Amino acid sequence: MGKISIEDLAKIQEAARYKVTLRQGAGRVRMNVHMGTCGIAAGARGILTAVMNEIEARNLHDVIITNSGCAGLCSQEPMMTVEVLGELAPVKYVQLTPEKVKKIFDSHVLRGSVVQEFALAVGSERTH
């Protein structure tokens, strides 16, 4: 890239927005994929990839991904806890598939409405 203009500063900033959000540990929504042995065996890696793909496809800058160990409910894996920070209590989703992840993005992440049919309970285990 050669000489840049004042407008280019804003473009560089915009392109890096998601990176900056993540590095500051800030974000509007936290999605925690459970990655215990049980979760991984049941396909948690695929769920994690699906979440990352959704974030990229929808060009979201405010969704952060974390992962945690087994939540103790191995029969319901793969699981994920979704939390709209400071607004809604964390919600646990069970027996996930990439299609279900898509729906959770449409409804919970973007519109703040919990997808009741995949939800197990409201509340969260400690992540660390």
Partner 1 sequence: MAYRTYLMVCAGTGCVANQSMKIKDKLETEIRKKGLQEEVSVVTTGCNGFCAVGPLMVVQPDGIFYQLLKETDIPFLVEEHFIKGRPVKELMYTPPKEKLPIPKMSDIPFFADQSLVVLRNRGLINPEIIDESIARGGYQALAKVLTTMTPDDVIQEIKASGLRGRGGGGFPTGIKWETCKRMPGDIHYVICNADEGDPGAFMDRSTIESDPHAVIEGMLIGAYAIGSSHGYVYIRNEYPIALERLQTALKQAREYGLLGTNIFNKNFNFDIKIARGAGAFVCGESTALMASIEGRPGEPRAKYVHMVERGLWDMPTCLNNVETWANVPQIILKGAQWFNSVGTGDVSADPWGGSKGTKVFSLAGKVNNTGLIEVPMGITLRKIIFDIGGGIKDGKKFKAVQTGGPSGGFIPESLLDLPVDYEELTKVGSMMGSGGMVVADEDNCMVDMAKYFLSFTQTESCGKCVPCREGTKRMLDILEKITVGEGTEEDLILLEELSSMVVESSLCALGGSAPNPVLTTLKYFREEYEAHVKDKKCPGHACRKLIQYKIDPVACVEKGHGCHVCAKNCPDGAIVGETKQAHTIDVMKCNKCGICYDVCKFDAISVE
What is the DSSP secondary structure assignment for residue 104, as one 8-state letter? Answer: H
> Do residues 63 and 29 make contact, with C-beta atoms less than 8 angstroms apart?
yes
CB closer to partner 1 out of 113 and 127: 127
Least gap, CB of 97 to partner 1 (angstroms): 19
Minimum Å distance from CB 63 to partner 1? 10
Tokens of 110: 């973007």
Q: Output 3 or 117, the one with its CB closest to partner 1.
A: 3
Q: Are 110 and 57 in contact (CB under 8 A)?
A: no
Supply the DSSP symbol for 107: I
* CB closer to partner 1, 55 vs 114: 55
Q: How far is the CB of 100 from partner 1 (least distance, A)?
A: 19
What's the min distance (Å) between Cβ of 79 and partner 1? 11
25 Cβ contact partners less than 8 Å away, ≥ 6 residues apart: 64
Q: Which residues of the shown chain bind partner 1 in the complex (CB under 8 A)?
A: 1-6, 9, 12-13, 15-27, 30, 32-37, 40, 48, 52-53, 55-56, 64-69, 127-128
Burial classification of residue 43, based on how many CB atoms lie within 10 Å of its CB (0-12 exposed, 13-18 middle, 19 or more buried): middle
Question: Looking at beta carbons only, is 61 or 103 nearer to partner 1?
Answer: 61
Rg over CA atoms, the chain: 16
